[in-house]
Amino acid sequence: MSKGGKGYARVNLAALVLFLAFSGVAYRLVDLQLVKADRLSALAEDQRYRLADLDPTRGCILDRDGEVLAISKEAYSIYATPYLVEDPEMAAAELSLVLQKPRQELEEKLKSDGGFVYLERKVSPETAEEIEALGIAGIGLEKESKRYYPQGSLASHVLGYVGTDNVGLSGIELQYDETLAGKEGEAAVELDPMGDPIPGVTKMIERPVDGSDIQLTIDSQVQFKLQEELARSVQESGAKNGSGLVMDCHTGEILAMSSWPDYDANLFPSVPAETARTRPVTDAFEPGSVLKMVTAMAALQERTVTPGLVINVPRIIEIGEYEFKDDHPMPRDDLTFAEIIAYSSNLGTIKTAQALGKEKLASYLEACGLGKPTGIDFPGEAAGIVPDPGSWTQTSLPTIAIGQGITVTPLQLACVAAIIANGGTRVTPHLLLREIARDGESVEYEIPEGERVISANTAASLRYVLGEVVRMGTGTRAAMTLYNCAGKTGTAMKPDPAGGYREAYIATFAGMAPMEDPKLVAVITLDEPGTVYGGLAAAPCFARVMEFALQNLEVTPSLEKVNTRDKVVNEE
């Protein structure tokens, strides 16, 4: 081959190589920029950005007058990227001074293998500034929110609390968690080559929707008075604990509800579970004589008795192998039915129940809602226990008629009292007044239509009978200065887990006022008071709370006072 031919061959080969090379590059460009563009772009995005949840602002909880009971405030969580921390020992020492946490605990976190670890959740902005001022590489701040209860212990049992991740764990915070929490959003945060977020470079994917506010039926003034008087009554009586509530007898609105001891909801991680229980809703107990309200209700409605009917009260009633007696002497053998309830005669009540019959008494227990939840918008409600009539023994009728062998909650007793107070209709207790969205639009709570249990005439007769309890019977210490009231005392022995009963009592007073035209009902319960009796331990607390609540609502005082304090019957 000639030299010229060889030269052309080399040129052609070089051209072919270049052509193939450019073709490969072109193919690669087409493959990268067209065919695989979307996938590679997504991979790049994944490397440059980190998806982050955007927390919505949790809604506030307000009282009926708009006072803030719970609100979310700005807070920061302190985190570390361990592999970026140059001197874990020194960093832990500096951080422990600010965070008030053990140095060794922080050091272990800073030496961990993970790429992300929380050192402390939800510290104040002031603490966050101190951490930032340390300038420690690998330590960062994450803006969050922290639940704050500005009134401290006020209504803490009603409000409940939220966990570290802003999820409701108890009370109203749990009941209306979905409404308060809102909806999370999502954003992509751009990272630098070291993996740290670049400030101000964020891609919004979905904006968070802030939670709605919740306005409660709670009246902070009445709530404070209830908590104050429960504390006083527990201290004066030597009781283990106490509980109480105040409710509008027509609407079922709960104006106040509490247990004692109470607690500061801001300190919830350290609150014992026993203290955190909302006893008016969660604790069922044998009520004793206060349940005679239901026996009297049934007997009056069925016309088995009238308030003035005279009934002979014996010294003993034998039923099977058991003897029933009154806990204290009656003033005479022949008593009117009103006096039987006023003096809380067990035997007079048992004779009334026997004349009424098992089926009818059982039907009124059911009609009053006993043995099932009231339907209150609050978690953890106890239903109580009402034995099925088919399983009643020979002694069930007399024992249930006087409030033993059956369990109820203070809230259920308030609902029974409300039937009597409002003219015969059962109400559904509730704590929600309205929901208020961020745009200001509100949704009112719809009050369910109540079922009629007794006639208005029966309710009026029973209010008179329960008024006699306060005027001359076991509840004279419930009498108030400005208002007449009606109610019933209860002193019930506590069951022994080993069987039978033990020498420990629960004292109760359930009542309504003003007696002429009731607006409110209230129930006070004290567990194992030294003064024992409901008329001595619980009735005075009822009087102080109820009178304050009525005055707070500017209810006109009773024109003619019929309740007196001149006679006290201690026994039940």
- For residues 278 and 535, what is the distance between their CA atoms, to the nearest angstrom? 24
Only one residue has tokens 């590489």, namely 137
Which DSSP string corresponds to 257-271?
EEEES---GGGGGGS
- For residues 93 and 95, what is the distance between their CA atoms, to the nearest angstrom? 6
- For residues 272 and 340, what is the distance between their CA atoms, to the nearest angstrom? 43
Is 406 within 8 Å of 416 (Cβ atoms)? no
Distances (CA, A) of 299 to 48, 318, 361, 494, 553: 79, 22, 8, 27, 34
Is 473 within 8 Å of 343 (Cβ atoms)? yes
Is 492 in a helix, a strand, or coil? strand
In this structure, what are the phi and psi dihedrals at residue 299, rounded to the nearest 5 degrees? Answer: -65, -40
- Determine the straight-line distance between the first and last CA of the chain, rounded to whole angstroms: 133
Compute the C-alpha angle 332/334/339, nearest 5°. Answer: 80
Helix (H) or strand (E) holding 376: none
Is 250 within 8 Å of 286 (Cβ atoms)? no
Is 550 in a helix, a strand, or coil? helix
The residues, any chain, with a CB within 8 Å of residue 6's CB and separated by 6 or more, are none
The catalytic residue among 289, 345, 396, 461 is 289
The residues, any chain, with a CB within 8 Å of residue 520's CB and separated by 6 or more, are 246, 247, 248, 249, 255, 421, 512, 513, 546, 549, 550, 553
Only one residue has tokens 């009103």, namely 338
Compute the C-alpha angle 319/321/324, nearest 5°. Answer: 50
- For residues 544 and 449, what is the distance between their CA atoms, to the nearest angstrom? 31
- For residues 125 and 288, what is the distance between their CA atoms, to the nearest angstrom? 54
- Is 289 an active-site residue? yes
**Residues recognised as catalytic:** 289
